[in-house]
Amino acid sequence: MLASYTENGEEIPEELQHLEFEYKYDLPSFFKYCPMINASGFARYIGMNPTLLLQYKLGRAYISEKQLQRIEDGIHRLGNMLIEAKFTV
């Protein structure tokens, strides 16, 4: 949307200049959006039963706020670990 303003040489309206988006997912949607994250491996990473996480992933089991927070914390921890990764030849 903002590109249409700049492409036409128009000034971006003030109310759009600091526009921010916050993406929120339910658990099944997150794993669909991030298929590179293996649910079983991730479950082991956060100390959760892999079968239980798979049930959450498939939307077949109710997930409590506490369990959802545990998964979200694990995703953030994994993300930080990936950001800090350095490779060498």
- What sign does the dihedral 28-29-35-41 (CA atoms) show? negative
CATH number of the domain within which 36 lies? 1.10.260
**Coil, strand or helix at 12:** coil
Q: Between residues 68 and 4, which one has the greater pLDDT? A: 68
| pLDDT for the residue numbered 23 | 86
What is the number of domains present in the chain? 1
Which residue segment(s) compose the domain that 82 sits in?
25-89
In a domain, 12, yes or no: no
- Could you tell me which residues come within 8 angstroms of residue 63 by beta carbon, excluding any fewer than 6 positions away? 27, 56, 71
| pLDDT for the residue numbered 2 | 67
pLDDT digits (tens, 9 = 90+) for 13-67: 888 878 888 889 999 999 999 999 999 999 999 999 999 999 999 999 999 999 9
| pLDDT for the residue numbered 29 | 94
**8 A C-beta contact, residue 56 and residue 64:** no
Mean pLDDT of 82-86: 96
